[in-house]
């Protein structure tokens, strides 16, 4: 017997393959996503100024989410402690953060298979009337990926809301399979009913205030309100200008539910940092279009499976 075959007397072939695949996967991640070690104090401050303070890449997220963003690209000694102190001393964060309400155990719901299978829709407002004439925003959140779309609107009439959803969501991402709303008149009307019927969308009304699907929208609204308070002008008439900055920041921040950035689960890759800030010299693989399509599909399938598993575990934990 060849010496290398003796290993299988102690370790099964399947287990050996799994170990090998894990090593290769981690090696690929290390090669394609190298982490830069930071020693200079000014560089640390510049990184946090971008990944915490900046309205596009930062958004004044909390300690956990800021740490997750920084760890994707950088490392330094006592980094967690440094970031914790930085965020705690941030004056804008202290002014903007809201008090969290006591949580009610959530209802366990079926976890979607793919992005945008099930979308939770709500309206936020009225907000101060902007210079563009907007007073409301329609928010749509994918129940699997937690990817957010937010659309500023002047009013919440049935026609305005339906037009916003159709043009800014459905024409970009395709029709969802299931459409979950509350009892608001902007959703319970013949226009929305006809739209769902035409596109074969299942329309569900959520009536329980603390239902799990409603909870994800409430949390995004709370985060949105904190973001707006951090960046808008004193007279609050430019909130709709900042809205898409918030959406990008929200979607490129790691979700505490499934540990992925929503952007990554939808597009199959992380969003790039600006070239002038990202000094990493990563190894770029060479693709033809077929290889790119196959790898993107594979990565998304793996990511969806992991996200579903973590999402289900999160639901069970919250139910207790």
DSSP-assigned letters across all residues of the chain: --GGGGGGGTS-HHHHHHHHHHHHHHHHHHHHS--EE---HHHHHHHHIIIIISTTTT-S--HHHHHHHHHTTEE-TTHHHHHHHHHHT-HHHHHH--PPPPPPPPPP-PPPSSTTSEEEEEEE---PPPTTS--EEEEEEETTT--EEEEEES---HHHHHHHHIIIIIHHH---SEEEE-S-TTTSSHHHHHHHHHHTPEEEE---TT-HHHHHHHHHHHHHHHHHHHHS-TT---HHHHHHHHHHHHHTS--TTTSS-HHHHHHSSPPPPPTTT----PPPPP--HHHHHHHHHHHHHHHHHHHHHHHHHHHHHHH-
Distance CA(43)–CA(227), nearest Å, equals 25
Give the pLDDT confidence score for residue 107 in this predicted structure: 45
Averaged pLDDT, 156-183: 93
- Is the pLDDT score of 29 beyond 50? no
Q: What is the pLDDT confidence band of residue 106, given thresholds at 50, 70 and 90?
A: very low
At 122, give phi and psi (nearest 5°).
-155, 170
Predicted TM-score of the model (pTM): 0.63
The pair of structure tokens assigned to 289 is 């279009």
- Is the pLDDT score of 46 beyond 60? yes
- Is the pLDDT score of 5 beyond 80? no
Higher per-residue confidence, 261 vs 111: 261
Averaged pLDDT, 218-237: 67
Give the pLDDT confidence score for residue 33 in this predicted structure: 53
How distant is the alpha carbon of residue 190 from its chain centre?
A: 32
- Is the pLDDT score of 296 beyond 90? no
Distance CA(172)–CA(96), nearest Å, equals 32
């Amino acid at each position: 017997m060849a010496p290398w075959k003796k290993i299988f007397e102690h370790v099964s072939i399947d287990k050996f393959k799994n170990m090998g695949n894990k090593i290769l996967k981690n090696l690929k991640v290390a090669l394609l996503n190298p982490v830069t070690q930071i020693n200079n104090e000014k560089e640390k401050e510049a990184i946090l100024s971008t990944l915490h303070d900046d309205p596009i890449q930062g958004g004044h997220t909390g300690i956990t989410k800021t740490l997750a963003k920084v760890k994707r690209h950088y490392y330094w000694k006592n980094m967690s402690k440094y970031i914790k102190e930085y965020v705690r001393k941030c004056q804008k964060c202290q002014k903007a953060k809201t008090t969290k309400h006591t949580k009610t155990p959530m209802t366990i719901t079926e976890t979607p298979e793919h992005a945008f299978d099930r979308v939770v829709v709500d309206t936020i407002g009225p907000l101060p009337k902007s210079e563009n004439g907007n007073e409301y925003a329609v928010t749509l959140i994918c129940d699997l990926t937690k990817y957010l779309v937010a659309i500023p609107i002047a009013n919440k009439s049935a026609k305005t809301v339906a037009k916003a959803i159709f043009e800014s969501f459905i024409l970009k991402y395709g029709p969802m399979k299931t459409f979950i709303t509350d009892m608001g008149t902007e959703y319970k009307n013949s226009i929305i009913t006809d739209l769902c019927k035409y596109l074969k969308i299942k329309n569900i009304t959520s009536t329980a205030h603390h239902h799990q699907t409603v909870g994800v929208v409430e949390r995004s609204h709370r985060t949105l309100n904190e973001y707006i308070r951090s960046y808008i002008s004193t007279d609050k008439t430019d909130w709709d200008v900042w809205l898409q900055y918030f959406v990008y920041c929200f979607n490129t921040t790691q979700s505490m539910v499934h540990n992925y950035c929503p952007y990554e689960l939808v597009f199959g890759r992380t969003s790039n940092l600006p070239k002038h800030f990202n000094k990493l010299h990563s190894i770029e693989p060479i693709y033809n279009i077929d290889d790119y399509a196959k790898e993107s599909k594979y990565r998304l399938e793996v990511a969806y499976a992991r996200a579903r598993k973590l999402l289900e575990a999160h639901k069970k934990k919250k139910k207790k």
